[in-house]
Amino acid sequence: MRGPLVVLLCCMVALGACRREAPQTGPVDPSGDGQVTISGDDLVIADLNWTPPPVRIEEGAEGDARARAAEALGDDDLHATPASAIPLYLALSAISGEERAAAAGLRRARIRLLALGTMALDEADTGDSIAGLRAAHEFAAVARFLAADDPDVLTYLQRVDESDRLWELNRAAERALDAGELGEDGGGALAGFRQAAALRPGQPRAMQGLAAVESALIRRAEVAGSEGDFQTAARWLAHAAEVRPGMQTVVDARQRIQRMRATRIQRLRDEGVAALPKINGVAQARQRLAEILTIAEPGDPVARDLRQRIDRAVHYGDFRPGQVFTDALEGGARGPQMVVLPHGGFMMGALPGDADAEDNERPRHAVRFERGFAMGVREITVGEFRRFVETTGYQSRAVRRGFSMAYDERTGNFLRRSNVDWRSDYAGAPAADTLPVLHVSARDAQAYADWLSAQSGRRYRLPSEAEFEYAFRNGTSERYPWGEGTPPQGSGNMTGALDRSPSGRRWGNAFAGYGDGHWGPAPVGSFRPNPWGVHDLEGNVSEWMGDCWHATYRRAPADGSAWINPGCRDQVIRGGSWASSPAQTRASWRALAQVDTTNARIGFRVVRDL
């Protein structure tokens, strides 16, 4: 059985110590760098001249020569030695009487020569064999010597020329590839391999070269991706997609780089989140977000998550808008329930055209909270104030002086009554723990807030009146939370025309057609909260603010902070009570009270910084 064609060709053309050579262009490097290996011994000698080896046939040995020539022809030993078929037939053609036999033998030899040459060209073109191309040249030289004008020879010679061109195109493209001259913008390895593929469609060496260029472009894309330059990576992938359109390799590479992108984005997000609680952490997190935005697709959910976390950290610390929470106090107790209000802005003060407004509610002005804050969901209760007093031994103002202002059912007025303090209800009777604490001064309320701060390690305080009105309006710009007119049933504990005292008294100035079923404060949270989750801002009890009293809003803080003058004797109260007129239930209503004032209409709630 014959061995590979390349071995046979080496023997036939007698190329000295001819051996089977290793392929001149190896497979694409597994590393994916798109390189091919080029041998230094890949030059094709384009000499198509052949000189027959000298043959001497003794007189009378013509028959033996014919037999040897036929045997050599059958063994495909055509031209390399004096014992080869063509030299023998050429020698016989010069002997009288042998011309016809010699011509027939030469004809058969030429046909076989072209057949073997075609096989050699196939080996060179498809098997990437320099030996096959050299053998094809050798056959071409012999065929040209025998019949330069023969149509079959001319066709074969043209095929040899094309194979030479193909070889040179591939070789030049491979050198460009190894030099990194890929030709994504024209020329280079890509142009060479494309010309080779056009010359011989599907030629393996050219196809392998195109795959190598594609691989090199993909490798560049992956390097760019590993460095975080996904814009450049996308550009290299776009070039790679044009090399062999529709190939899965680029699709797979794009998925790998997308995973790189996702991994990098996730890492940057995690670094940003980890930085937020640290000193200068917001700035670091913003830097990570900026890096993400340079590589992420629009609307990337990871980028959106980090941006939201940064916004929350800036405006709410560890909280989120609408979150309800309580802080742990020493000894295992819990503080009052708080709700996180959103940062934002509003117009504070009386609405234009409000006939009930007074000068102290003007001028209307813009207030903006750059950071959210937490407000008590409900007013502070008797039970909550009791825990403070029992823990600290604190004596409120009413306890120390022995009296407060309580409601007198007999006269329908508020009168000074002895032994009335924070433990008493609006009429001076013992108060249930669920009722809002009454008969507390501004200083009593501040003392409670200070105690909460010490117990929780967080800053609690009285609301600023800007915070109170902001929460009261909760995004609306109406006089009342419900707009105008009679409140919807269940809105809150306010003076309603349908309310009755224990002895049947009615309010002289009340909301027509409204009743809430209470004469005096209701247990905190008895009515539905506003949209931000806060109860009883418009009713139940009026509340102490942290602000000192100022007769107008001129020069008032624009950041929502409390407007304080050291040592002030008058502080602001806000919000309607169970005994307030409709005008005193408006969002912009405000009044002053001496800091030591205690009565049956004023309580308080707290806020907490985030």
Task: Sketch out the chain's domains with CATH numbers.
Answer: 5-178 (no CATH), 262-316 (no CATH), 331-384+436-609 (3.90.1580.10)
Chain-centroid distance, C-alpha 590: 48
Instruction: Round to whole Å and give the CA distance between 78 and 95.
Output: 20
pLDDT along the chain (610 residues), means of 10: 41 37 37 43 61 94 95 96 96 94 96 95 82 93 95 95 93 95 93 93 92 96 94 95 94 96 96 91 95 93 94 87 96 95 96 96 97 97 98 98 97 97 98 98 98 97 98 94 93 97 96 96 97 97 98 97 96 98 97 98 97
> Which token pair is 296?
């992420």
Instruction: Round to whole Å and give the CA distance between 490 and 511.
Output: 13
Please confirm whether the linkage preceding 436 is cis (ω < 30° from 0): no
Q: Nearest-CA neighbor of 610 among 411, 383, 458, 391?
A: 458
Quick: pLDDT tens for 123-158: 888 877 789 999 999 999 999 999 999 999 999 999
DSSP helix/strand/coil, 128: coil
Contact status, residue 436 vs residue 381, Cβ threshold 8 Å:
yes
Which residue is listed with tokens 């209760």? 381
Instruction: Print burial letters for 354-374: b (CB count within 10 Å at least 16), e (below 16).
Output: beebeebbbeeeebebeebbb
Instruction: Round to whole Å and give the CA distance between 74 and 68.
Output: 10
Phi and psi torsions of 223, nearest 5°: -65, -45
Q: Nearest-CA neighbor of 564 among 552, 554, 573, 556?
A: 556
Residue 397 CB neighbours (<10 A)? 20
Q: What is the dihedral of CA 225, 229, 234, 240, to 10 degrees?
A: -60
The pLDDT of residue 129 is: 78
